[in-house]
Structures are given as C-alpha cells and as structure tokens.
Structure 1
Amino acid sequence: MVKDKAVISKRVVTLAIAATTAGTLPVFLTGALSVQIRASLHLNKAATGMLVALFFASATVTSLTSGRLAEKYGSESVMKVATALAGINLVGITLFASNFASIAVFLGIAGLSNGALQPSVNMFVAGAIPPSRQGFAFGIKQAAIPSATLLAGLAVPLVALTIGWRFAYFFAAVFAFIVSALVPRRAPDRVSATNPLSSSEDFSVAPLVMLAFAMALGAGAANAMGAYLVENAVHVGFNPGDAGLLVVVGSVSSLAARLYSGHRADQRGGGHFKVTAVMVGIGALGYVMFSFQATVLLIPATIVGYAAGWGWNGLYNFAVIKNHPNAPGRATGITQSGAYVGSVVGPIAFGIVVQDLSFLAAWVGAATLAGLSSVFMVVGRKMLIKSRHTLSPG
C-alpha cells in the first residue's frame, strides 16, 4: 500500500499542534501552577479541580455545536477566532485574576473557545491529510495536549518560581495571538472535501453517544491526574520545582505514545478502538500505582498514567473520523463533548475526595473510572460495527 508520506503538509500539522496547544494552555497552566496560584489567591485544594472542571464544562457547550459551524463556514475561520479568544482570556488572567471568581470567569470563557476549537482542528486535519496517513497525523495533532502540559510543567521552575506565575499566562497569551495570526483563511493543502450534509445512513448517533460516554470516563480520570499530579507530588515530599518537572516527564511519555499509536494505526486495517481500550486499561494500573503514595513509584506511575491513560486520544479521534468521513466535525464534536463532561466531573470529584478523604481514595476512584472506560469503548465499537455496515470498523 502506498503510504503517501510526501503529501503530509508540515504547515497543516504544525498549525494543528499550535492551535490545540493554545486552546488548552489556560487549563493546563492552572493545574501545573496550582500551588503558586492557591498561595497567591488564598484558595483551597478543591478550587483547582473546580477551575479545571469549569473550563471543560464550558467547552462541552460549544463542542456540541461547533462541528456543524466549522463544516458550514470553514474550520480555519473557527480556529482563527478561537485561538484569539484564548489569548484574550490568558491576558485577562495575567492582569485581573485576584480571587476565585475572577479567574473562574476567564477560564470559563477560555473553555468556550477551546470547545469550538477542537472539532475545527480535527476537520482541518481530516480535510488536508489523505486517509492513508491520518492516523499518524492525528497522533501528531493530539501531541499538542502533552506539549501543552509540558510547557505548563516547565513554567513552574522557569517562570512561576522566578518572575511569578502571572507571567506564564502572559507568555501563553503571546503564543495564542501568534497562532491566530498564522491560521490561514483557507487550508493551503486541502486534498479532499467533506460533505457537510451527510446522510442519516452515514451518521448514527447512538454509537457516538456510547463512545462519548467511554471517553468521558477515561478523560475524567486523565484530567484529574493532570490537575492534581503536582499537588500530589508535593504532598508526598517533592519540592514544587521537581513536581513541575514530573509533569514534563509525563508529557513526554504521552507525546511519544500518541505519535507511536498514530503511526501504528496507519499500518493496521482496523481495531483502533480495541487498542484505545487496552491503553486506558493499562493507564488504570498507573493510577493504582499513584494510590500507594510512595515517592519511589511517582515517576513510573506518571509514565504509565500519561503514556497509556492519556496517550489514546489521537487514535480515538482518528477512529471516529475514519468511520464518519463525511461529518468529521460533528462526529468528533459529539465524542469530544464526552471528554469535556468527564473532565468536568473528574477533577471536581477527585478534589472533593482528596479534601474529605485522601489522595489514596481519589486515585482508586480514578483507576475505577479508567477500567470502566475501557469496557465501554469495546461496547461502543460493537454498536458502531452493528449500525455502520458500509464503513470499516475502527
């Protein structure tokens, strides 16, 4: 089979990574800088989870509707506006965040922009990369998430502990504005067009709802880890600088997993949802390792948790789009909404359990969510195969 490697546009994937990173930096900075922000704004530990949850709750609203919007007006238009809005809110946090309410307002609006951004970026990539290379392309695109967490982790020792946490948001704002300026009005390398009005036979909602539910459980556990990794590391004895570097280790692990799983996807004929189910299940073992609250286990738990428990997203999006080539924006908008719902409930529940019980109990809960996510991914795949005989199963 011809790989069509030459047609993968570096500009397309670079813009996809940059836009996704810009959209998610507000929330990942909040998680990585939680120790400094809590001390500065006098917040309790549960506040971090609530702020992260608010971001994703807002994203859920626009994720469900922006797919059709991108299919109608163009993915590039939505990307340009959404990244600019992310930059505006990052500036707002830099200058005006003085208490929980003020930072919550800016994160809520930033969540709206991120919810609109993700389906648009998925459509942007799907329209510019041929199907034979989309697995790797989406692996690269989703590498933006660990890239954002990596940058957020580096911001702790390099920025927050030197010149102050607000400057981390300011630098992120500059990045977002640059990305917005670079997004073209139309994709320069579009190789295929999607039909914005695919027939009902090509768009079955029920399997997507099940897959969204599975994604909610897996993303809820993973985003709780992202929000509280630094807090947990400090709790067991790490200093804040080293705890921030732990996020870097996890981010690199997740980035490598997303790239490799995407590369392997292009070499398979199907079975992608089965692979994501296995990855989430392995991630659950990482959360169990966290529950022991042992310093010696933090690094291996981080690697397993981030690589497996948070490394499946790109492959998941690819599998959804492979089965819905005529409606990539709407299909991933539905499944991505599941990720946002889970990302609301996960960090809030994790924070409450930590506040009222312990980190041990919270990690056991995260492992349970991941295990259930693995099961429901398999269920969703079976529903998809049953309802879509004309398309190859993912």
Structure 2
Amino acid sequence: MPVTPLSPSTPARVRQRLSGAIAAMVSAAVPPFLVAVLAVQIDRDIGFSTVQLGGGVAAYFFVSALGSPWAGRLVATYGAARPLRIATLACTVGLLAVAAAPAGWAVVAALALLGIANAAAQPAATHVITGIELPRTRATAFGLVQSSIPATTLLAGVVLAAFQDQSWRLAVVLVAALTLAAQLPLRWVKDPEAPPVAAQVEPPTRRGGIEQDRARGFVALMAATGFFVSLASTCLPSFLVVTGLLYGLSPSLVAGVQVAGSLTSILVRVVAASTGASMSGAGNVAGVVLLASAGALGFGLISTGSAAAFVAGSLLAYGCGWGWSGLFNLSVTRAVPHTAAASTGVTQGGIFLGGSIGPLAFAGVVHGSGTQLAWGLAAVSACVASACALAARHRWTRPVVVHHRLGEEPT
C-alpha cells in the first residue's frame, strides 16, 4: 500500500496516529529489557542464568530479524493498522506467558515468540510516520517513535527500583496490563486510501531520494550499519545492570543510571531526528556516523571497570551509541521514500540480527574472558558501524556518471 500524506491541516489526527504507533512500539520493545532488569530475581525464583538471559534476548531479536523483511513487504501491501493491533495484543499474551513461566527455558521460549510481534511493529510504525507530509513534523515523529525503545528501558529501570524486593511475576503482569491499554490509542491508526497514480510513480529523486540503481547498495550498507551498531547497543540495556552490580554499584544507583541513560537516549533521538529535517539526506547519514563513533567511546569507558567511568560511559553510550535510530530511519526513508516500509524492513532486519547475536556473543565473552573485554569488543563493533555508515553516505553523494551517445544532450 503506497503511503498517502496526511493533511497538514489535521495536526490532531497526526498526534493521534503517532500516539498509536508509539504505544505499539513500546509494547513490542519492552519484553527483553524487562526480563533483563528482572534477571536476578527470576534466577533466584526459577533459575535463569546469564547464558539463558543472553539466549532469550538473542532469540527475541533473531526471530525479529527473520520476520522483519517479510513484515515490511506485508505492511507496504496491506497497510499498518491491523499489524500494529495484532502485534500489541501478541505482546500482552507473550508477557503473561513470561509471568507464568515455570523455569528459565520457558522465559526464553516466550521471548522468542515475542520477536514476531516486534518484527511487525517496526515497519508498521514507519509506514504511519511516512504518511506525515510536513518534513520537520515527520522527522520529529521518527525521533519520538524510536524514543519508545529507550522508554521501555526507562520503564524497566522503574520496575527494577520498585520491585527489587517484591515479586517479579507481579511486575511482568503489570507491564502486560499496560500493553493491553495500548490498544486504546491504536484505534486512531487507520490505513489511508491509495494516492493518485502520478504520485505512485514519481521518481525518488524528486523528493531528494537516491537514484534507483544505487538504492539497493545503499540499503544493504545501512543494514550492515544497523547490524554492527545493534551488535553493541543491544548489550547495553541487556547487561548494564549486571555489569554495574559486578563493579560494586548499589542496585539503586544502577537503576538511576539506567533511568538517566534512557532519558538521555530519548532526548538525543528526538533532537537528532528533528534537526535532521533541516539537513540533506546524506547529512543525516553523516549524523549517524558521528553518533556511532561517540557511542564507541562510551562503550570503551564502560570497559575500564571504573565506577565513575561506568556512569559517564553509560550516559554516552545510551545517548549516542543507542540514540542513532531516529536519525537512521529518517535517512533510509529519505533515500527511498516510495519503498520506505519495505526498505526499513530490510534495515531493521540488520538491526535485529545484530541484536540477536550481540547478547549471545556478549554472554559468551563474559563467560570466557570477562565483562571488560566484552564491552571493549562492543566499542569495536560500534566503530565498524560508523565505517559502514560512512560508506553508505559516499554511495549517496558520489557524482553520477551519465553516458550518452554522440550528438545527444546529457540527461
């Protein structure tokens, strides 16, 4: 289903649809981070090792990676409204399954099934945003929707502080009830009618997009960028709490760092995406390069083992190493505006694949060589992501060589 712009004269409708997309994204993104912050309590109750935590988060993102390209094509064809509602309901059911888990393996299985809902929610939310006509509003919307992900870690941090001495099952049930309440704003998300044929065939360069023969390579490089930066950043909310406790910080201080980091990431995502509206599309990609590079520094600080460096590195890694996604998705949709849902399905596939491998690899490195080396390798991965984004920007900006026959005017 091609995207129909929403009228700029209906800001209330834009806010309503955006609230529905954010509610669905929060519901889809919260499960692995909620389980991560409650891992210690779950382990005491039913047995839930670090390897199982890494395996569960990896399974969630691996299933998301497999389903995301398919979900992107489905949303592009049939629209976003129904996938968002079904995905959110599936999150409620999946979280209740986590709360009822009799053993650690059941938590891992529930997280794997919840990955299906996450795969559908991401491209569907992108489809809703690309229907916003005003450029700055659309760019800010990308930041707001992507802020739903660190908002889930904020919620998880609050849960950790409130339920550290209480039942983890009750905490999961309460979050499941919140995902059920997310169905209320989703009633405002409706699929528009198809636009005129002329709008469907308008070349992407008319809207500042990349040439068609370069689009596939650009999307592939951005998917690689998403893979490597997610390889590092997904370990942040998944293992930051465990690392802070290992470094000797109190649970309340670790929870405070988690909350502060989440707020920093939300701020960076919104500001970076909103600022990106006044930049060129290639300039947006350059912003991704800078954020990934700064994030690498944050991961490096966490790897030092110092409590002070842990706090500073966590804020930098959260803000930059995990604050790139709003600007990232804005870059992709500006490059390929008429295949936004399908293309972001591919790039999200890269992000989810990194998210699936990252926690598992991190847990393996921790088990074999220690926590500090694991965070050091996360910094290296963020550097590789920065290099991939730089290559994608070069592909977008390099001069076009046009061949024409003698006597014809160049095109």
Q: TM-score, normalised by structure 2?
A: 0.87
2-structure distance, mates of 1:65, 1:318:
21
User: Cα gap change, 1:55/1:80 in structure 2, threshold over 3 Å: closer, same or farther?
Assistant: same
**Conserved 8 A contact 2:214-2:396:** no
Query: What are the Cα deviations for residues 90-123 of structure 1, in whole angstroms up to 9, with x where unaligned?
Result: 111112x122221111111101110111001110
Are the aligned partners of 2:61 and 2:352 in contact in 1 as well (CA < 8 Å)? yes
2:92 counterpart letter in structure 1: G
Give the 5 Å matches for 1:1-394.
7=11, 9-95=14-100, 97-159=101-163, 161-184=164-187, 186-187=189-190, 195=200, 201=212, 204-270=215-281, 271-385=283-397
Q: Report % sequence identity.
A: 25
**Residue type at the aligned position of 1:167:** L
Distance 1:242 1:5 in 2: 46
Distance of 2:341 and 2:400 partners within structure 1: 18
1:388, distance to aligned residue in structure 2 (A): 8.9
**Change beyond 3 A, Cα 1:313–1:191:** farther
* Residues 79, 180 of structure 1: 8 Å contact kept: no
Paired AA for residue 229 in structure 2: G
Q: How many residues align?
A: 385
Q: Which secondary structure state, in structure 2, belongs to the residue aligned with residue 128 of structure 1?
A: coil
- Is the 2:91–2:179 Cα contact (8 Å) retained in structure 1? yes
Whether the 8 Å contact between 2:17 and 2:189 is mirrored in structure 1 is no
- Which range moved further: 81-90 or 167-176? 167-176
Q: 2: distance between equivalents of 1:128 and 1:174?
A: 30
Residues 129 and 281 of structure 1: CA distance in aligned 2, closer, same or farther (over 3 Å): same
Q: Which has the larger radius of gyration?
A: 2
Shift of 1:245: 2.4
Task: State the one-letter code of the partner of 2:370.
Answer: S
Q: Deviations over 1:10-54 (max 9, x none)?
A: 212222221110001111101221222222222322222111111
Q: CA separation in 2, counterparts of 1:5 and 1:351?
A: 51
Q: Deviations over 1:202-228 (max 9, x none)?
A: 883222112101110001100011110
Say whether the 8 Å CA contact 1:282–1:309 is kept in structure 2: yes
User: Shift of the alpha carbon at 1:76?
Assistant: 0.9
In structure 1, the gaps of 5 or more residues are 390-394
Pair 1:186–1:304, CA change in 2 (3 A): closer
User: Which whole-Å CA distance do the structure 1 matches of 2:214 and 2:112 have between them?
Assistant: 31
**Equivalents in 1 of 2:370, 2:113: separation in Å?**
31
- Per the alignment, do residues 267 and 234 of structure 1 end up closer, same or farther by CA in structure 2, a change over 3 Å counting? same
Q: Is the 8 A contact 2:26 2:149 kept in 1?
A: yes
Change (3 A) 1:186 1:344: closer
How high is the TM-score relative to the length of structure 1? Answer: 0.91
Q: Structure 2 vs 1, CA of residues 197 and 251 (structure 1 numbering), >3 Å: closer, same or farther?
A: same
Q: Partners in 2 of 1:116 and 1:203 — Cα distance?
A: 27
CA distance in 1, matches of 2:189, 2:86: 14
In structure 2, the CA distance between the partners of 1:39 and 1:174, relative to structure 1 (3 Å rule), is same
User: Matched residues in 2 for 1:15 and 1:196: separation?
Assistant: 29
